[in-house]
Homo-oligomer: A and B are copies of this chain.
């Protein structure tokens, strides 16, 4: 089968690899119908050291079950399923607490030893706990929005939940990538009264407004902090969704939170330490978040997609086949594209 392999910064190749197959009795093999490129894939695209063996890429997909192990109970060959970016057994103590990303038998796609989703097929461990069977066909027009349930919509929702967004709250979203944009959807969906997007790309800002952003702050650093304060009576916002992961964006996030505010961070942190420890302390700001348990959120978010109340699939502004995945990375890295969908 063909799959995406990254060998180093800027070096993404489509190669023929051994076919995905059932290894454990709890595995399924899924033929990928829709995948995508993630903002987090751009970190290794910028910085990865050369590897002779390469790394399989991709962790967001929808596909059709092609084979199941002997112990798989909740799906059958031919079912259309969402593959969340983490696999999980659905039965451990953390899955029961709805934190599937900490599953004791879980792990992530697109890491050492695991298949990636930017490929023709994927071996999915813990299939019963991981996969979510969809009630539609793979030609459904909702496919782009459903695909976001594998990561970005669930991740934006996680940021909003951890940032304690609730009706009437003031919210800021740091970052105008696909996750930030889904964060705007999530904040509006949870009842936020004011939603300030911090970003500077015209296409993304336009989409943020369509999704419900009420204000745009295009400044950076101290000037951005000042603007947000002006927009919020001088005190900052109740809830901040940090959707970047850089030291500077985290410092901005903490600096625009009002006293007793909450920051939900879902941008993968690129540094060992967190900036803003002292302002967070003196203002009693809570910082939480991490890899989103998107598997846990599908039940809640799916009806809103099926019934048309949210359209996160609009973050996809380019569709490529597998051969054009390397160019998809380039386009996202150069901000030509918000998010690229892959149809293998």
Which A residues are within 8 Å of any B CB, using their own CB? 93-94, 97, 99, 101-102, 162, 235, 259-260, 262, 265, 268-269, 271-278, 280-291, 293
Considering the chains assembled together, what is the distance between the CA atoms of A275 and B99 in angstroms?
23
Beyond contacts A94-B260, A288-B288: 13 other A-B pairs, Cβ-Cβ < 8 A, are A94-B259, A99-B284, A162-B286, A262-B288, A269-B281, A272-B277, A272-B278, A274-B274, A280-B287, A280-B290, A281-B289, A284-B293, A286-B288
Considering the chains assembled together, what is the distance between the CA atoms of A173 and B280 in angstroms?
21
Across-interface contacts of A101 in B (CB, < 8 A): 284
Closest-by-CB residue of B relative to A267 is B281
Q: Are B290 and A268 in contact (CB under 8 A)?
A: no
Across-interface contacts of A274 in B (CB, < 8 A): 273-274, 276-277, 280
Across-interface contacts of A288 in B (CB, < 8 A): 262, 284-288
Considering the chains assembled together, what is the distance between the CA atoms of A101 and B280 in angstroms?
13
Copies of this chain present: 2
Considering the chains assembled together, what is the distance between the CA atoms of A93 and B260 in angstroms?
12
Q: A162-B286, A284-B288, A289-B284 are in contact. Are A102 and B278 (CB under 8 A)?
A: no
Closest-by-CB residue of B relative to A281 is B290
24 contacts between A and B (CB under 8 A): A93-B235, A94-B260, A97-B260, A102-B260, A102-B283, A262-B288, A268-B281, A272-B277, A273-B273, A273-B275, A273-B276, A273-B277, A274-B276, A274-B277, A280-B287, A280-B290, A281-B289, A281-B290, A282-B290, A283-B290, A285-B288, A285-B290, A286-B288, A288-B288
Across-interface contacts of A278 in B (CB, < 8 A): 269, 272
Q: Are A269 and B277 in contact (CB under 8 A)?
A: yes
Query: How distant is A309 from chain B, measured CB to nearest CB, in Å?
Result: 27
Query: How distant is A159 from chain B, measured CB to nearest CB, in Å?
Result: 12
Closest-by-CB residue of B relative to A260 is B99
